Chain A
Amino acid sequence: MDSAPTAAQTLARLTGATRRYSRGAEDVHALENVDLTLAAGEWLTLVGPSGCGKSTLLNLLSGVDQPDEGSVEVGGLELARSTESQRTLLRRRGIGIVFQSFHLVPHLTVEENIALPLALDRKRDPARVAELLERVGLTPRATHFPSELSGGEQQRTALARALVHKPMLVLADEPTGNLDSASGARVLDLLDELRRENGSALVIATHDARLAARADRLVRLADGRIVYDGRPQDDPGPPR
């Protein structure tokens, strides 16, 4: 996990992944028999209506959730057979997450929020943190608290946090959902730029069609199933 796989390597694989939730007597199929492969360094966008399983798929990839059927493998680790500690380590070192609602720690400064993944791994790399601060344009705000930042600044902080430890995989759930278009575009540019430098794969769940168009690959989900998997420009759109 310390070195990112090459572009030709498979980074993550879902095989027949199924995830269901019970709501009383009724079962909801969040994902149904999903097969998906992600290559190292690849940008994959997940699109689909609300409730189609985008977030569930992201959760499976991050090891936060486990499939009811099938398997999920990330960075060579079979998540269903792994221990909680192994999955925790995966999230700590191998994965970066960008949330729609930013989710910064309110009592830590911008600088500290960015350094959080390193700190969790008991590492210090002030140069890396400073570099990212610079890259996301927040050096003057390094000692400010999240409540003192705009939405765009918060998300850029979250972005920097997600990449500070050079993860092999970055997961982003509606990263521009709470931003205006200008801020969103800037965040997206930064995300792409930084992850390329790291060689990180990127999986974004989004409604944003423009964002989807920038990806290397688009996967469309409907009712928990993959209905399209291919180049964005070939996407036929949502099924009627």
Chain B
Amino acid sequence: MILRALFLRPLVRAPLRFLATLLGISAGVAAFVATLASNRAALASLREDTRALAGAAQFEISSAALVPPEALPILRPLEADAELLPVIEELVLEPRSGAVLRLLGLDPLLDPRARGLAGEALGGDLALRTLRGEGVWIAEPLALTLGLRVGDDLGVEAHGRIFELRLLGTLPAARSDGPFATTIVADLALADRVAGRKGRLDRVELLARPGVDPRDLEREARALVPLGLELRSTGARAAQTQGLVRSLEFNLLALSGISLLVAGVLVATALATSVVQRSRTLALLVSLGAGRAALVSALVVEALALGLLGGLLGAFGGYAGAHAVVPAMRATLTTVVGSAPENPVRFEFDLVWLGLALGLVVAAASAVLPLFEILRTPPLQSLARERPDWLTPRARVGAVGVAILAALAAHELLRLPAWHGLPIAALGSATALLAALFALQGPLCDALARLAARIPRLLVLAGPLRLALAALAAGRRRSAWAAGAVGMSVALSVAIATLVHSFRTTVVEWTASSLRTDLQVRTLAPPGGVPLGTLDPEVAQICKRVFGAEAIDDYHAAAAEVDGRRITLTGANLDVVARRGGFGYRDGRDSREVLARAFAEHSAVVSESFALQFGRKEGDTLQVQTPGGTIERRIEGVYYDYGDSQGTVIVDLADFQPLYPARATHHVEVYLPADVDVEVARGQLLDALGGRFHVEVLTNAELRTNVLSIFDRTFAITNALVLVNAFVAVIAVLTVLFALLRERAADLALLRALGASRLELGAQVTLQSGLLGPWVPSRGRDGYCDRRDARHRCQLAELRLDARVPPALERDSGRARRGRTRLSRRGSRAGLARGACQHERRAPGGRMKFAASLACLALLSGWKQHASPFEAHFPADHGAHPEFKNEWWYATGELEAAGGEHFGYQLTVFRLGLEPGLPPEGESYWSARTLYSGHLALTHIGARTTRSAERSARANGGLAGARTDELDAWIGDWRIVRDPSTGTLHASGRAREIGVALELDLRPAKPAVLHGPDGLSPKGTQAGEASAYVSFTRLATSGHVTLDGRALEVTGESWFDHEWGSGQLGKDVVGWDWFGLRLTDGRELMIYRLRRAGGSVLPICAGTLVRKDGSSRPLASSEVELAVEERWKSPHTLAEYPARWKLSVPSEKLELHLCARAPDCEIDGSHSTGVVYWEGPVKVEGSASGGGYAELTGYAGSLEGRF
């Protein structure tokens, strides 16, 4: 009943007050939630997306100077424990939509992300085309947004060039959420070309193999990572970005927090006022015996209702508002961390919970004041004795004392530096000032009212004023709170407006005096963003050609560290800039003098924010850590820079380039002679650029305008929050006013009865509202410090939001005007993309499921064919033959461990050529011209089990390859190599995922054998269908096998094959059976037969007999009879393999029975060679005994056309 009497019924019958209060609290919560949600969206691509993009990889190796491909062979030993995934990542601009997209260059052969994204779609023809860099993949929704279908061209701008990327496929929406929604997936080589990396990588990610402890991997990697490269977890990059924007985020949230505070005060005032409005009802209920607890509960319910509803409305309102705010937020953040792909504002339930929590907390805190009102409410009978609520002297002194203490605290806090980059002290100072303001409201209201009471003639002279003061005094506490709310909001607004205006004025002056370039050439920026990436080096060359090197400042920038903290190291042509001059210097010297000295003495100039943050001054020496080493420079001067908060060190370009050899030009600045017309010069430059480059050429005036527009965009979010503050404060004032009016309704009615006019009553009300905040604006100015006090400026800059002129614009020389390429003057940007620009087109060449499928898709033209006779020349012919398409080095053998266990092993390195001949000039280092695969298998004969592992890699970066002059073929840490001094082969490899490692020495017992008549082994009936086939047919083997951590010393015998050719397999051959047999009588037999579909066998050479003395002769097919006596059905593929044979070679008096020593020796190479086959040890019995290996292909899928 009390709830109904005090809350529900009034709400229904007079909802305006409740709704106004609800609106106020929703606005405060919405401001906070909108700030948070838009901040998340703006940062997502830099923060969460960084983590999501990394996928399952635990670590990454990177460098500010990029990872050179030469580093990869050094990291190769890690291949045993991790997949090394090279990545190139670059932001590109889609010109039609202005969208910033992420180009992600992966190795589709290796990278599980490619597999995960494209799934089965990335196979066959598409796999080859992706690997060859013929096109890219994007998410389906993105394709829809851009109006593209598979087969269309996606035009992107990067490095000032347009690239047309053929859309090969789309990633299903279900697999491409998060960062992949705005990512272009491409082969590494294509990304290299577009990003202009010249073979360098953004990073190499490490994905631990199953069973590998990431901590062990980290330890191993740290021991191997070369100097200049950094190993960190994949989350660290996100954390670093987080660190950059932490201060900015804090400031924005603090601002929106103040909105919330103002909203809280609004609620308190409104609730308190509502208590007074219902004072009679309250007093009556007290008279009737209502307990205070019941009354308080009703208030609490009202507060909670306001909090819940306000919080809920605020959360949803904030989410909606975030969409409007996010462009401004993104504009603000890009000035700190650069552009990033857009992420939509995601609705997350935690924001709803946050909104509710904020609303409840604010409402609960706000209920404190009205609680006092309720507890003070006397019974109705005592209510009649209500009289003005003057402050006691003690209360007055106390309030003033609190205000003074708070003001002193504010002053002291302002002296403190930022805490870990966060302006906590500055925020505390601002809060203390607001508290001082708040504390003073009560005494001020009180003093005003008392003063008015002592002016006898006031009622006569200014009746409305007198009555207004009396009304305020009557509700002094509530008036004080309302005034406080208004005060805070106005103070904040004034402070920020003053700060922004002053800072803007400073920036205007600074740009006028410091930006001295005549023209600036830079890459294009997305709408509301900063220029993306770096310029194609040719642009700088063209500028030099047109204007002369002495007029060009080729500006470079990269990340470096000082004292373990990140800074920007800039390389500039100091001699060029010195002629014109630039930024103002702290010690007052002419910038030309400072720069000239810095150039002459190889010293550096640093920004003021650097000097303050790192405590350095002119004349100090500083050490800068870069990937290329540490450099030491004396500080020649400290310059003013209003665009930099992180700290910049500028050295001459000649000092910069050796440290970052691959770093491209960030932008070019042109200094023209005085008599040159800037527009004419711009025209000349555009002509020279010839429409090939998509760049901006800005004149000085355009540059200055650009700087200011970025400044304004940066502060858009601040201004929006100030508006919200003002809105909430207005509602606070209105709510209190209406309440005061209602409270004084009887008084007003009496005045009317006594003859007061409506005008006079209106004046009273106006004065009443005006009295709520007359002394506030002055407080706003107190929050603004002398801009000459750089420290305060910097601190306020922190509070102000770290607004940062983008790196492209922070130079100490002028900026160029906005320019257009010739085509854009003629037409639209779309015209640029499709017009006469000379676009980069990809020479024809994703995740590859099987190299063999690529082989069958790749053309044979351009590959060398064997011509008989063939003579082998060793040792060179033990090495690779890149002019031929296919090649493999194949070791198999039987081993016995000291404990009596018997094994069969296989280690194979396959080479597959994709593109014959040498790469054309300009082709990416990462262009996939040769692929390698590896198989490692171990059969435990006793356990009748076989474990196998496979590898795939492109022959770039040294992760896989083979020497051409000697036998040395490897993939990852699997390797077969020949010691030229002893002739011994060494076969080694670790496959942690199957718990197997091999370390074997293979000593040839006989010289190498060249199989086939005329030195070529026929593989078909047509001319050219033959391979060069060399074997060591008997090798004494010793070494170690590690199985599940058990190291076993083993001995045995092996067989080694090396075969190469181009499309050698006959067209109608679906598979083959191969045997490498070692007989105890010292002979070896190589038997093979090529099967057609239907089971018939090609009537070609059937094998080789190697005699005891090492001589050999080919065996004709007529000499060999091979009959299958038993078969085994694979439970994995259901393929039926022969398992027992009868082999007859009557000409050699051989009647042999061959039997597989373990039936299950099926090898799944579907992710490497694409072939599933059987390879295992066989036992030989009959007229001779022995052992050997058999290879059976084509039983689980035809090999037709693959080799």
Q: Which residues of A contact B (CB under 8 A)?
A: 55, 58-59, 62, 64-65, 84-85, 88-93, 95, 97, 99, 103, 105-108, 112, 115-117, 119-121, 161, 173
A-B contacts, 10 listed (Cβ < 8 Å):
A62-B381, A64-B379, A64-B382, A92-B289, A92-B290, A103-B284, A103-B380, A107-B281, A120-B1, A120-B288
Is B1 within 8 A of A97, CB to CB? no
Nearest chain A CB to B570 CB, angstrom units: 71
A97: contacting residue among B4, B288, B382, CB under 8 A = B288
Are B1 and A107 within 8 A (Cβ)?
Answer: no
In the docked arrangement, what's the CA distance between A107 and B378, Å? 20
Known pairs A64-B382, A99-B380, A120-B290. 8 more at Cβ < 8 A?
A: A58-B381, A62-B287, A88-B290, A105-B281, A105-B285, A108-B9, A120-B289, A121-B289
Closest to B14 in A: A107
Chain B residues near A99: list those with CB within 8 A: 380
A106 to B280, CA, bound (A): 10
Tell which of A84, A88, A105 touches B284, judged by Cβ atoms closer than 8 Å.
A105
The answer to whether A91 and B291 touch across the interface, beta carbons within 8 angstroms, is no
Q: How near does chain A come to B2, taking the closest CB pair, in angstroms? A: 7
Bound Cα distance from A84 to B378, whole angstroms: 12
Residue B13 lies at the interface, judged by CB distance under 8 Å to chain A: yes
- Interchain CB contact under 8 A, A117 and B382: no
Q: Which of A65, A105, A115, A120 has the most CB of B within 10 A?
A: A105
A120, B380: Cβ atoms under 8 Å? no
Complex CA distance for A95 and B381, rounded to whole angstroms:
14
- Chain A positions within 8 Å of B2 at CB level: 119-120
Contact of A91 among B10, B280, B288, B292 (CB under 8 A): B288
Kindly state the separation between the CA atoms of A11 and B817 in the bound complex, as whole angstroms: 98
Residue of B nearest to A106 (CB): B281
Report whether B289 and A117 are in contact in the complex, using a CB–CB cutoff of 8 Å: yes
**Which residues 379-395 in B have Cβ within 8 Å of A in the complex?**
379-382
Q: Contacts A89-B289, A116-B288 given: A103-B280 contact, CB under 8 Å? A: yes
| In-complex Cβ contact of A65 among B13, B286, B294, B382 (8 A) | B382
B6 CB to closest chain A CB, in angstroms?
A: 9
Inter-chain CA distance A97–B290, complex, in Å, is 13
The 8 closest A-B pairs by CB, nearest first: A92-B289, A119-B1, A107-B9, A91-B289, A64-B379, A103-B284, A105-B5, A107-B10
Contact mask B1-23 → A, CB, 8 Å, 1/0? 11011000110010000000000
Binding site for A on B (CB under 8 A): 1-2, 4-5, 9-10, 13, 280-281, 284-292, 294, 378-382
CB distance from B1180 to the nearest CB of A (A): 101
Please tell me if the beta carbons of B381 and A90 are within 8 angstroms of each other in the complex: no
Q: Once the chains bind, are A64 and B381 in contact (CB under 8 Å)? A: yes
A75 CB, min distance to chain B CBs, angstroms: 13
Is the beta-carbon distance between B4 and A108 smaller than 8 angstroms? yes
Q: A120 near B294 (CB under 8 angstroms)?
A: yes
CB closest chain-B residue, reference A104:
B284
- In angstroms, Cα B281 to Cα A92, docked, is 15
Chain A residues with Cβ below 8 Å from B288 are: 91-92, 97, 116-117, 120, 161
Chain A residues with Cβ below 8 Å from B9 are 107-108
Residue from the set A89, A90, A92, A103 with the largest chain B CB neighbour count within 10 Å = A103
Q: Provided the pairs A106-B281, A108-B5, A116-B1 are in contact, do residues A88 and B291 lie with their beta carbons within 8 angstroms?
A: yes
Cβ distance A112 to chain B, nearest Cβ, rounded Å:
7
Query: Closest chain B residue to A122 by CB distance?
Result: B1
CA distance A197 to B446 in the complex (A): 54
Give, as a whole number of angstroms, the nearest-CB distance from B1140 to chain A: 95
Most chain-B CB neighbours within 10 Å: which of A58, A64, A89, A107?
Answer: A107
Q: Which residues of A contact B287 (CB under 8 A)?
A: 62, 64, 91, 97, 103
Once bound together, how far apart are the Cα atoms of A88 and B281, in whole Å? Answer: 16
The interface residues of chain B lying within 8 Å CB-to-CB of A121 are 289
- What residues on A are CB-neighbors of B281 within 8 Å? 105-107
A85:B291 contact, CB within 8 angstroms:
yes
Contact A59 B10 (CB under 8 A): no
A2 to chain B, nearest CB (A): 15
Note all chain A residues with C-beta closer than 8 A to B5. 105, 107-108, 112, 116
Q: How far is the CA of A85 from the CA of B286 in the complex (A)?
A: 11
Complex Cα spacing A106 to B2, Å: 13
Please, how many angstroms separate the alpha-carbon atoms of A59 and B381 in the complex?
7
Q: Which residues does chain B contribute within 8 Å of A84, judged by CB atoms?
A: 292
CB-based nearest A residue for B384: A55
A44 CB → nearest B CB, Å: 18
| Distance between A106 CB and nearest chain B CB, rounded to angstroms | 7
Task: Report the separation of the CA atoms of residues A27 and B1159 in the bound assembly, to the nearest whole angstrom.
Answer: 117
Question: Is B1 touching A115 in the complex (CB atoms < 8 A)?
Answer: yes
Within the assembled complex, what's the spacing in Å between the Cα atoms of A65 and B280?
18
- Taking CB atoms, residues of chain B closer than 8 Å to A105 are 5, 281, 284-285
Query: CB-CB < 8 A to B378: which residues of A?
Result: 64
**Minimum CB–CB distance for B164 against chain A, Å:** 73
Chain B residues with CB under 8 A of A97? 287-288
Instruction: Provide the residues of chain B in CB contact with A92, threshold 8 Å.
Output: 288-290
CB pair A90 B289 closer than 8 Å:
yes
Contacts of A112 in B (CB 8 A): 1, 4-5
Which of A58, A89, A106 has most chain B Cβ within 10 Å? A106
Task: Write the nearest CB–CB distance from B491 to chain A, whole angstroms.
Answer: 38
Quick one: closest B residue to A167, CB to CB? B289
